[in-house]
């Protein structure tokens, strides 16, 4: 599996940790993030990772900013993205099983490296359950295309 990862200045350290962790597990990781702690703008990295995932260049994405909020909001503006902000592994599991999330976002100021490892482990290994959840994801994608689901 090929993973796109991106971060702003707040996520440099956690990004480095996760790249090393995931590569150690055999994943191919493409770094679209900032590697310096100089202040920058998270939508830049949300767009890069989102486009890599939506185009099929990468299978899944990881986004990190201070809280994970700005970068996940930004990613969800890109057509085809279903980005879930997670602070623990159960949400990451359900984001895959129920929402078919293709990007996980995390906050470097709100979670530590061990929690982040648990989140990415589950996110990368859990399959979408389909069934009734497919119907709901289809409606999410209708909203994504500007169509009504009423
Ligand atoms: C940057 O200062 C900070 O606002 C950003 O990393 C993130 O927390 C935004 O949601």
Q: What is the pLDDT of residues 61-119, one digit of tens each?
A: 999 999 999 999 999 999 999 999 999 999 999 999 999 999 999 999 999 999 999 99
CA 115 to the chain's CA centroid: 15
Ligand 1 center from residue 70 Cα (angstroms)? 6
pLDDT at 131: 97
Is the distance from the beta carbon of residue 106 to the nearest atom of ligand 1 less than 6 Å? Answer: no
Of ligand 1's listed atoms, the one at least distance from the Cα of 109 is 8
pLDDT at 7: 98
Q: Name the token pair of 109.
A: 């100021």
The widest CA-to-CA distance across the chain, in whole angstroms, is 46
pLDDT at 54: 98
- What is the phi/psi pair of residue 75, to 5°? -60, -40
Q: What is the distance between the alpha carbons of residues 74 and 61, in angstroms, rounded to a whole number?
A: 13
Closest CA to 132 of 102, 98, 84: 98
For the segment 1-55, what is each residue's pLDDT rounded down to a tens digit? 999 999 999 999 999 999 999 999 999 999 999 999 999 999 999 999 999 999 9
CATH superfamily of 2-144: Sugar-phosphate isomerase, RpiB/LacA/LacB (3.40.1400.10)
- Asked whether the whole model's pTM tops 0.75, one would answer yes
Give me the active site residues, please: 65, 98
Ligand 1 center from residue 10 Cα (angstroms)? 7
Closest CA to 127 of 150, 99, 96, 149: 96
């Amino acid at each position: 599996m090929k993973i796109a990862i991106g971060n702003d200045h707040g996520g440099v350290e956690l990004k480095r940790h996760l790249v090393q962790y995931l590569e150690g597990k055999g994943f191919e990781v493409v770094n679209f993030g900032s590697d310096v702690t100089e202040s920058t703008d998270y939508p830049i990295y949300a767009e890069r990772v989102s486009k890599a995932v939506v185009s099929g260049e990468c299978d899944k994405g990881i986004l990190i900013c201070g809280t994970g909020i700005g970068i996940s909001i930004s990613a969800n503006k890109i057509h085809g993205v279903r980005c879930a902000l997670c602070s623990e592994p159960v949400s990451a599991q359900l984001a895959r099983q129920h929402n078919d999330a293709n990007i996980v976002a995390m906050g470097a100021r709100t979670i530590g490296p061990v929690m982040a490892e648990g989140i990415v482990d589950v996110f990368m290994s859990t399959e979408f359950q389909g069934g009734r959840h497919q119907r709901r994801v289809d409606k999410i994608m209708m909203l994504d295309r500007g169509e009504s689901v009423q």
